[in-house]
A = this chain, B = another copy of it.
Amino acid sequence: MNENTLTDLLQQVKGGEIAIDQALELLRRLPFEVLDSARLDHHRALRTGLPEVVFGEHKTVDQLIEILDTLLRTDNVVLATRISEEKAAQVRTRLDGLTYHPEARVLSGNQHLAPIGIGRGTVVIVSAGTSDFPVAEEARITLRSYGHRVVAIHDVGVAGIHRILAHAQQLQQATVVIVVAGMEGALPSVVAGMTAAPVIGVPTSIGYGTGAGGFSALLGMLNSCSPGLAVVNIDNGFGAACMAAAINRKG
């Protein structure tokens, strides 16, 4: 039974599946839970296929603990991104059951509840330089928590074009490819020209001068002359993983 749209609700009332009072009650409570610091959206996994992930950048340690504590009691994998090493340490002192991934700056929990190998195929993650590694890791850990098969290829930037050419076969066999690159952001163009799989570009804020902040890489990817390429926000490894998961899901 799919219960997450208002139209469906009325259908159920009509079909006698639920009473009007129940419908009104459902509408009043709606599928989320009100905490002090956040309104958790438990039906989200049903609706979008993706469990809610906590964006930790602007949250305090107290807010994180309250939200994560609630999520750990559900039967979903728990993930919090953009968690600094200090915050992670403080949270883990006061809350059990969380693992910290320092490169990816991610806290995870309930990993035993993660599905395994659920997608149609393999997600390949490619990164251009050593400094793009953390963003690629954020994407990899997110996808793994969601149960997808992932292969990662690092340090294959376009300044030595033979490095990415050596991986042609892996790129052609992927269901979807994530390409993480800073500086001029040229790698996704090259990759999208080598494979029939959809390519998700992730510009990174690696660079200096006019490249600082990642705008150069972002513009490079948006203006690619290769077809089959779409882009997420700068440093948004998590967003790329969600898009890849949506592409790779069965059905």
Contact string against B for A residues 102-123, beta-carbon threshold 8 Å, 1 for contact and 0 otherwise: 0000000000000000000000
Report the Cα distance A27→B163, complex, angstroms. Answer: 10
Report the Cα distance A159→B50, complex, angstroms. Answer: 12
Instruction: Find the B residue at minimum CB distance from A238.
Output: B227
Q: Which size bracket describes the interface of A in this complex?
A: 35 or more
Segment at the interface with B among A68-76, A93-101, A189-197: A189-197
Report the Cα distance A88→B131, complex, angstroms. Answer: 18
Asked whether, in the complex, the Cβ of A24 is within 8 Å of the Cβ of B10, the reply is yes
Residue A198 at the B interface, CB < 8 A? yes
Residue from A129, A162, A163, A221 having most chain B Cβ neighbours under 10 A: A162
Report the Cα distance A149→B188, complex, angstroms. Answer: 27
Asked whether, in the complex, the Cβ of A24 is within 8 Å of the Cβ of B28, the reply is no
Asked whether, in the complex, the Cβ of A231 is within 8 Å of the Cβ of B234, the reply is no
Instruction: Find the B residue at minimum CB distance from A230.
Output: B230
